[in-house]
Amino acid sequence: MRATLKFAAVAAALTLVVTGCGTRPSTTAENTGGGELALANPFTDAFGLVEAAKQGTRKAKSSTTIVDSMLGSKPVTGTVKAFYDGPASRLEANMTVDGETVGMRLVDQTVFVKLPAEEKARLKTDKVWGKIPLNSEDPQAKAVGKAMLRSFEMSDPAKQLELVEKTGRVVKSEQTQLDGVPVNHYFVEFDAKKQIDLFLGEDLPADQRAEVEKRFAGKDLRIPAELWLNAEQLPLKMTMDMTSFMKSAGGSQTGEAKSTYTYSDWGTPVDVTAPPAAEVGDYAEMMQQAGN
């Protein structure tokens, strides 16, 4: 079920759109955020950094994120345009996973997944899109929808900043420039165990939690990351390196697990609409009819 695995890879990339935000695109001093405002001294703690950044990200609510990730041997690249506003959130992701294109939209609490040719053949459908209502009562669709919803929620910049606050610490910082814009450059370290508790704490069955705790016992698993924030305290870029964590966790994944996120178009309107009804089929129903 390669297509389903590709959807999962995209969801993982979306989940890691940490601080998913940027600044208004321009090279002029008036609106780069680095020309008019004086660059404040860097924060020394995650709480101060996050509280300052969240004030700006919550006002603008929308962004464009360029994703460039390597998950083991599979590159995940693409663009995510999103408007973050709770149940009214809208998102469009056009990603390339291991050389194949995967498209997703979030509109009106419904996820629309563009079906690759092999997935259409497996599901025996001529529909272009499969829809997954996030409030579906179908057990399988509900589970997929819940995972997708969590991924989309965690691409909300305010929630991702909270992730830094709750599971990270500022190791060091410096003042420099990024593409000609003055920035505070932060070196951050995430506690992987705390992240797992946040993501899976309430959903992970007891036996699986015990397995995870056994695997991580006695290990100090840290994930290094870097953030570049402009004078408006808006993130312009973030990198994350999970390679050492994946190896220490004893997983089967080999190769590098690195991600780079570049943010722009902060506050620009995001227009995402549902695909034409004639091109859409219920994903859970298609899977049932195909015997999956």
In a domain, 91, yes or no: yes
Q: Binning pLDDT at 50, 70 and 90, where does residue 243 land? A: confident
Is 125's pLDDT higher than 80?
A: yes
| Inter-CA distances, 262 with 5, 36, 126, 204, 266, Å | 25, 22, 36, 32, 11
In a domain, 94, yes or no: yes
Q: Which amino acid is at 152?
A: F
pLDDT of residue 34: 36
In a domain, 229, yes or no: yes
What mean pLDDT, rounded, does the chain reach?
A: 78
* Residue with the larger pLDDT of the pair 114 and 35: 114
- CATH classification at residue 114: 2.50.20.20
In a domain, 98, yes or no: yes
Asked whether 216 and 195 are in contact (CB, 8 A), the reply is no
Is 75's pLDDT higher than 90?
A: no
Query: What is the tally of structural domains in the chain?
Result: 1
* Residue with the larger pLDDT of the pair 109 and 207: 109
Which ranges of the chain does DSSP label H, i.e. alpha helix?
Answer: 2-15, 46-60, 117-123, 139-154, 157-167, 192-200, 206-216, 243-248, 283-289
Q: Binning pLDDT at 50, 70 and 90, where does residue 287 land? A: confident
Q: Binning pLDDT at 50, 70 and 90, where does residue 18 land? A: very low
Q: How does pLDDT run across 102-117, given as a tens digit for each residue?
A: 899 999 989 899 998 8
In a domain, 47, yes or no: yes
Is 64's pLDDT higher than 60?
A: yes
Mean pLDDT over 56-78 rounds to 84
In a domain, 290, yes or no: no
What domain range is 67 assigned to?
2-284
Q: How does pLDDT run across 253-267, given as a tens digit for each residue?
A: 667 888 898 989 989
In a domain, 292, yes or no: no
In a domain, 264, yes or no: yes
Structure tokens at 243: 């390679």
pLDDT of residue 35: 40
